[in-house]
Amino acid sequence: MLLSENILIQYISERLGHKNTTITLQTYAHLLSEKRTVEESKAMAFFNTI
């Protein structure tokens, strides 16, 4: 949920009590790939306006 709200991965990692962000990224990588697709669409829409 925090990832979907654009909360920094560092904060999420600390909040979950993970030793480092690598653990958090390994655990939630599937969510980040979905988010990447959304972000890519937004970036391309932006580039199309310039």
- On whether the CB atoms of residues 7 and 21 are closer than 8 A, the answer is no
Q: How confident is the model at residue 10 (pLDDT cuts 50, 70, 90)?
A: very high
Q: What is the pTM of this model?
A: 0.63
1 alpha-carbon distance from chain centroid: 10
> Distance between CA atoms of 40 and 19, rounded to whole angstroms?
29
Please write down the long-range contacts of 19-23, taking CB distance under 8 Å and 24 or more positions apart: none
Residue 37: what pLDDT? 87
> Distance between CA atoms of 27 and 5, rounded to whole angstroms?
18
- pLDDT tens sequence across 11-47: 999 999 999 999 998 998 887 777 888 889 999 999 9
